[in-house]
Amino acid sequence: MKTPTMAGLATLAAGGVFLAAMTLGNDDDSNDKTPVAVTHQKTPATNSPTISTTSPTSRENGPYVALGDSYTSGPNIPSQASSTPAGCDRSDRNYPSLVAEQLALDPADFRDMSCTGATIADLTSPQSTDNGVNRAQLSALSDETRLVTIGIGGNDIGFSSLIKQCMKSGVLYYAMGSGKYTGVAAPCREEYVSGGTDEIQQRIDTAGTRLATALAEVKRRAPQAEVYVVGYPAILPPTASDCGRELGLAPADVPFLHKEAQSLNTTLRERAAAAGAVYVDTYKPSVGRDACSDRTTRWIEPMIPLAPAAPVHPNARGERGMADAVLHAIDAAK
């Protein structure tokens, strides 16, 4: 997804509490030097990101092209030195880089085209960033490509603006006595769901149609490639949580946002299956590791990150977990 225009998000909370969202704190992940093996094997999926071992050959799995948005690129996760253009915020510890490393790919056989803020349209058109222009992501595909991962869709449904609006609603919710005087438990849901019509679900349906077209184009450009559509990990818990106040959300809006994220994942899964691609479930292994979970185990940082990551985005632990899910899917498909 798009790294929120964080200065904008910061202004939403009373007293400027979210201004600290741009200040990265210290956590074990900030100096995480966990060694990553260059081989892998099929192992049972667990809630702990683990990377395992067999002996693939690099040409068996590559050339590999990674496509996607900021959940793929890994904004603020060190190191960003090799990100070209710089505005795409690609980390060399994001899940595509870890997958390429695990598969022992030669650097020439790995292209990471992911970019913060990318929508499905940016797969086929150049994307302007705040620091440079990213080429159309599908331009990296060719008849030689053997592996493609694609993690995209969040920006097509406006997830960043949705979070922003829900935070505004949350500030008013708490200022007005936590629903005592309004009788509204989920003010953000009230804005997007009316008369049985869910505006966000409509956006998800549209994104699904766009993704179907994009996947057909991926197949046309890279007919020999195995294609993996990577879903989104658990961002928020499934039930109302005490962390709602910390995130600036009314408690009942927490499950509302969780439901919308799950609906997006369902659409990604369905479109992947229809296109003959493999869906990679990163939600299941991330349950209990959302932005409301303990800082020592979570994959997603909260609004004020305590590890190097963009607010409400995967940290280095989350990118490792997503890489492990991709590797298990590759093993299972063989």
Active-site annotation, residues:
70, 313
| Closest by CA position to 259, among listed 280, 235, 231 | 235
Contacts of 280 (CB under 8 A, 6+ apart): 149, 228, 229, 230, 231, 322, 325, 326, 329
Q: In this structure, is the dihedral angle defined by the CA atoms of residues 282, 318, 323 and 83, taken in order, positive or negative?
A: positive
Show the CA angle centred on residue 130, arms to residues 301 and 170, nearest 5°: 40
Separation between Cα atoms, residue 91 and residue 225, nearest integer Å: 24
* Inter-residue contact 155 to 1 (CB < 8 Å): yes
| Closest by CA position to 101, among listed 42, 31, 149, 40 | 40
The pair of structure tokens assigned to 225 is 């490639």
